[in-house]
Amino acid sequence: AFPKQVRLVEVGPRDGLQNEPEPISTATKLELIARLGAAGIRYIEAASFVSPKWVPQMADHREVMTGLKRIDGVTYAALTPNLKGLEGALECGVEEVAVFGAASEAFSQKNINCSVAESLARFEPVLERAQQAGVRVRGYVSCVLGCPYEGEIAPAKVAEVAKALYEMGCYEVSLGDTIGTGTPLKAKRMIEAVSCDIPMDKLAAHFHDTYGQALANLYAVMEEGIAVVDSSVAGLGGCPYAKGASGNVASEDVVYLLDGLGIETGIDLDKLAAIGTWITQTIGRPNRSKVGVALAAK
Ligand code: HMG
Ligand code: MG
């Protein structure tokens, strides 16, 4: 059965922008974050405390985290792959962070320069320190439906890494189809495997739309009970360490789908669509939200 409510995690300012080759000003990022909050988004992944050598676009993480104007009831989160990242985020007053691992060894090496086991060992002190500071930690698993280097990924491997993150103290584990190769049946089987160890309400779906399957995959996993969905406005994005990967499923398309299913989000679709039009014009990208493009043409 479908969940009654679905929580959207807006990853546009982070996942959506991290791969943009031309510098985007901090002011534009802050404006994007402000507009998303004003449209009713209640969770915004705002920045990434990663190495600026690895991901130059996220180099202004401090300015973004300290510059944003908080709206009551909105969570502003940041990625923190290690203690250095976490310390930086804590100095900026972050209230929630995320660590990111992978179900693929090769992707783990390319993305965070260590093995899956090493990454989990690295996350332990991040979780400990975050807990001391009263900061919640979300966990990501990448490549849950395929890897750009290894191809097929076994659902059991996804379940194993997700379980490790959950047991370490991540309050929620987001399952990333990093390269968007998944299809609905595969997505369902993966969720079934992971939910043997982790309650369904502690899982999130983070689907990229490279092959145009993201909405179908979401429909399939929401039928299984998934009630947290990561998406990015205008379908912005791509991962620097997953060549050819396009953006996340577009937030506008997810909200339109949910509205049609009678599932509440509290998000104003017209406002969201206007943000998609504005940000894609501002950074010179095509709007990859079909709903956004349709609404803009009305
Ligand atoms: P490393 O080189 O192995 O780390 O990188 P290191 O500890 O040896 O440090 C090397 C240098 O980086 C040092 O600087 C450190 O100070 C610096 P140097 O002495 O050479 O000047 N450094 C840092 N600087 C800023 N912030 C930090 C930090 N840590 C070290 N936190 C590291 C390891 C993880 C840092 C690196 O590999 C990295 O930054 N990777 C970035 C990966 C990334 O951001 N990928 C995209 C996000 S993940 C994603 O998109 C997938 C997701 O959306 C889900 C999905 O779709 O599947 C989440
Ligand atoms: Mg992603």
The pLDDT tens digits for 45-78 are 999 999 999 999 999 999 999 999 999 999 999 9
Residue 170 known to be catalytic: no
Per-residue pLDDT, 240? 64
Q: Which residues line ligand 1 (CB under 6 A)?
A: 15, 18, 48-51, 54-55, 81-82, 84-85, 100, 111-113, 140, 142, 176, 178, 206, 208, 239-241
Question: At what angle are helices 214-223 and 251-261 packed, to 10 degrees?
Answer: 40
Helices (H), ranges, the chain = 26-38, 61-67, 83-91, 105-112, 116-132, 155-168, 184-194, 214-223, 251-261, 269-283, 290-297
Residues 6 or more apart whose CB falls under 8 angstroms from that of 47 comprise: 13, 14, 29, 58, 60, 61, 64, 65, 78, 79
CA dist 216 and 193 (Å) reads 19
Q: How far is the CA of 76 from the centre of ligand 1 (A)?
A: 20
Burial class (CB in 10 A: 0-12, 13-18, 19+), 48: buried
pLDDT of residue 181: 96
Residue 239's pLDDT band (cuts 50, 70, 90):
low
pLDDT at 283 over 70: yes
State the distance from the centre of ligand 1 to the C-alpha of 49, rounded, in angstroms.
8
Nearest CA to ligand 1 atom 13: 51
- Which residue, judged by its Cα, is nearest atom 8 of ligand 1? 113
The residue type at 248: N
Pocket test for ligand 1, best of 11, 51, 241 (most atoms within 8 A of CB): 51
Tokens of 241: 């360490």
Say if CB 228 and CB 204 are below 8 A apart: yes
Average per-residue pLDDT for the chain: 96
Q: Tell me, letter by letter, the H, E, C secondary structure of 126-175.
A: HHHHHHHCCCEEEEEEECCCCECCCECCCHHHHHHHHHHHHHHCCCEEEE
How many angstroms is it from 126 CA to the middle of ligand 1? 14
Give pLDDT tens digits for 138-179: 999 999 999 999 999 999 999 999 999 999 999 999 999 999
Place of tokens 């998609």: 276
* Closest to 29 measured CA to CA, from 54, 57, 9: 57
Give yes or no for a contact between 181 and 142, defined as CB atoms under 8 angstroms apart.
Answer: no
Encode pLDDT of 164-219 as tens digits: 999 999 999 999 999 999 999 999 999 999 999 999 999 999 999 999 999 999 99
Nearest to 13 by CA among 33, 31, 39: 33
Query: Which residue's C-alpha comes closest to atom 43 of ligand 1?
Result: 111
Q: Does residue 245 register a pLDDT over 80? A: no
List the alpha helices (DSSP H) in 39-154.
61-67, 83-91, 105-112, 116-132
User: Ligand 1, residues 50, 64, 138: which to mutate, most atoms within 8 A of Cβ?
Assistant: 50
With a cut of 70, say whether residue 238 has pLDDT above it.
Answer: no
Task: Tell me the pairing of strands 96-102 and 75-79.
Answer: parallel
At 96, is the secondary structure helix, strand, or coil?
strand
